[in-house]
Amino acid sequence: MRLYFDRLFQMARCEWLVREQSNLFGFLWTMLQPLLYFVVLFGLFTKWMGQKTPNYGAFLVIGIVHYNFFQNTTSYVLTTLRRRTTLLTNFPLPRDLFIFSTGLSGLVSHLLELLVMLAFVVFLGTPFHATWFLLPLIVALEIIMVLGIFSPMLAVWGAKFPDFERIWQLLTGLGMFLTPVFYPVSIIAPDKRALLRFNPVAMIIEMSRRILIEGRGLGIRHFAAVFILFCALAAASYAYFKKHEPHLADYVLS
Amino acid sequence: MSDYAIEAEDLGKRFYLQTRSSKTFPRRVLYWFWPRVDEKPIWALRHVDLAVKRGEALGVIGPNGAGKTTLLQILAGLLAPTEGRVRVHGRITSFMGLGSAVYGDLTVEDNLFLLGTIFGMTRAMIKKKIGEIVEFGDFGKYRYAVFDQLSAGYQMRVIASAALHAPIDILVMDEMISAGDAIISERFAARMIELRRRGTTIVVASHSLNLIGEYCSRVIELDRGRLVNAAKPSTAAKAYLARHGVE
């Protein structure tokens, strides 16, 4: 077990250092994408959304940061087995190390982005609420969602189907419009709002806005139900991954 | 505890020769209905039985495409066999494609920690041994340099030094470490002798019959995926050369 976690730490560290080019300026480049999204979406929609949504700037940055983590980390995990084909086919390492180390490197960047997001939220005039201390619970849900539910399945599909990367890019691109990243749920027609209930990223974003902007707590029963559901889906996803684990090298070689 | 470190029964491994278009998602969906319509099956291994005793050093020889690397990958648990099964009693360390584990953009020290954990050392063990590893490969002046900036020879020194300090029960190796450097080659040879003395099980594939003869107590020969001979190194080497028309 000790060796497993040491390997996980080392692989995640190396992935993060390479992605962020081993310095703070590399990380700042990574922040450029959500920042540009913010500037464009804020510029386009503030006049319309700003009327319906108080503190639209904070509202928007929260949506962008959470969706960015989901989109970037799942896309990176999807290609991890093919990117490391030679490592996969030459070293008898636990296969889940590849997906969890990649996911973990994405999580480290996300935690830094969350700090920047909080600073931004404060800068935009949002008062501090005691409910901000609930943010780690939402991050925990996010980790279960991205690393537990999506990553194992996507890693298998990315290994089996080399062009699935393009399909996922398309889906996450469309997904941004099907997730209340830059719009409030209230502008969606009531009969279509139910669809958003099945969007796990939407759940995370709404919970985050609730505690950071509105200062309202998380309903214990609702949070517990979501937590249990996410854990069950993560267990199913991991079981799917374990079923395909012996064949992953064949998938990337074929 | 079994007397055998590795037992393999009726091993077979099938691959499919592909066209480029076979890799696309639509083509893969088509295969659900019309399996492998444009892919030619090829058996890299067929009906291979193998038993390697604890402490034995087994050499695997054969021409290109004989199935040596495929056999080693299956024994190391990297590929699943299409037929048959493998039982391994112990922890396998693989010395195959050693250069594939490194990140060229990171420093030598970063890569040493990564390689160390991949080869089975915990971070605590690496911290304890890192001075020894650096001294073994004599690359102290490059310890904090970016890996890609080193010459190919020094890169192999770094990798080989980390590999040779790993704890090893069963070693699976595809070609001896070729450092292109007499110093590391000699140290590697000494380490191999030490491993043999300690009773480490070794399975090594190589084109060098001299090296196989030096380190191995038994040799198997593969040809077009089939096990065609198993004998002592000198006998196996003579038979192999005779089979391929070399005096």
Tens digits of residue pLDDT in A106-145: 999 899 899 989 999 999 888 888 999 999 999 999 999 9
Share the mean pLDDT of chain A.
89
φ/ψ of B205, rounded to 5, equals -105, 135
Q: Given this model, what pLDDT does residue B241 score? A: 84
Cα B200 from chain centre: 15
Q: Given this model, what pLDDT does residue B28 score? A: 72
* Alpha carbon distance A198, A26 (integer Å): 35
| B25 shares contact with chain A (CB less than 8 Å) | yes
pLDDT mean over B107-124: 92
For chain A, give every domain's residue range.
2-253
* Alpha carbon distance B206, B176 (integer Å): 7
Q: Is A7 close to B118, i.e. CB distance below 8 A? A: yes
Q: Given this model, what pLDDT does residue A155 score? A: 96
pLDDT mean over A148-176: 93
Q: Is B28 close to A17, i.e. CB distance below 8 A? A: no
pLDDT mean over B97-113: 88
Given pLDDT bands bounded at 50, 70 and 90, which one contains residue B31?
Answer: confident
Query: In this structure, are residues A34 and A176 in contact, taking their beta carbons and an 8 Å threshold?
Result: no
| B3 shares contact with chain A (CB less than 8 Å) | no
Angle between helical axes of B152-164 and B108-118 (0-180°, round to 10): 40
The answer for residues whose C-beta is within 8 angstroms of residue A206's C-beta and 6 or more apart is A180, A185
| Structural domains of chain B sorted by starting position, each given as residue range(s) with its CATH number in brackets | 4-91+204-243 (3.40.50.300)
Q: Given this model, what pLDDT does residue B156 score? A: 84
Please say if the pLDDT value at position A182 is more than 60. yes
Q: Given this model, what pLDDT does residue B26 score? A: 76
pLDDT mean over B66-90: 92
pTM of the predicted model, to two decimals? 0.86
Q: Which residues of B touch A91 (CB under 8 A)?
A: 78, 94, 96-97, 100-101, 118
Nearest chain A residue to B14, by CA: A250
Given pLDDT bands bounded at 50, 70 and 90, which one contains residue B20?
Answer: low
Q: Given this model, what pLDDT does residue B8 score? A: 93
- List the single residue in A2, A14, A250 with the smallest CB-CB distance to B110: A14
pLDDT mean over B5-34: 79
pLDDT mean over B80-99: 88
Q: Put residue B176 in one of left, alpha, beta given phi > 0 → left and psi -120 to 50 → alpha.
A: beta
Of the residues A90, A98, A247, the best mutation for testing chain B's interface (the one with the most B CB atoms within 10 Å of its CB) is A90
Q: Given this model, what pLDDT does residue A110 score? A: 92
Q: Report the relative pairing of strands B218-223 and B57-61 from DSSP bridges.
A: parallel
* Alpha carbon distance B99, A221 (integer Å): 52
Span B121-145, pLDDT tens digits: 999 999 999 999 999 888 899 999 9
Q: Given this model, what pLDDT does residue A159 score? A: 92
Query: In this structure, are residues B174 and B72 in contact, taking their beta carbons and an 8 Å threshold?
Result: yes
Q: Given this model, what pLDDT does residue A41 score? A: 85
Query: In this structure, are residues B172 and B96 in contact, taking their beta carbons and an 8 Å threshold?
Result: yes
76-115 in chain B: CB under 8 A from chain A: 76-80, 92-94, 96-98, 100-101, 103, 105-106, 110, 113-114
Given pLDDT bands bounded at 50, 70 and 90, which one contains residue B229?
Answer: confident
Q: Is A6 close to B96, i.e. CB distance below 8 A? A: no
Q: Is B79 close to A22, i.e. CB distance below 8 A? A: no
In the numeric block, the tokens 């107590």 are attached to B217
Given pLDDT bands bounded at 50, 70 and 90, which one contains residue B36?
Answer: low
Please say if the pLDDT value at position A78 is more than 80. yes
pLDDT mean over A179-191: 87
Share the mean pLDDT of chain B.
86
pLDDT mean over B26-33: 74
Cα B221 from chain centre: 16
Cβ neighbours around B121 below 10 Å, total: 25
Query: In this structure, are residues B92 and A91 in contact, taking their beta carbons and an 8 Å threshold?
Result: no
Nearest chain B residue to A17, by CA: B106
Q: Which residues of B touch A249 (CB under 8 A)?
A: 73, 78-80
* Alpha carbon distance B229, B222 (integer Å): 7
| A1 shares contact with chain B (CB less than 8 Å) | no
pLDDT mean over A197-223: 90
Dihedral (Cα; B31, B33, B39, B42), 10-degree rounding: 100
pLDDT mean over B51-62: 92
What is the predicted ipTM? 0.82
According to DSSP, the residues that pair with B4 across neighbouring strands are B53
Please say if the pLDDT value at position B180 is more than 60. no
Given pLDDT bands bounded at 50, 70 and 90, which one contains residue A17?
Answer: confident
Q: Which among A162, A118, A165, A163 has a CA at the least distance from the CA of A138?
A: A118
What percentage of chain B has pLDDT greater than the value 70?
A: 92
| B238 shares contact with chain A (CB less than 8 Å) | no
Ranges A52-56, A105-109, A148-152, B200-204: which has the least confidence: A52-56
pLDDT mean over A164-177: 93
Q: Given this model, what pLDDT does residue A158 score? A: 93
115-154 in chain B: CB under 8 A from chain A: 117-118, 120-123
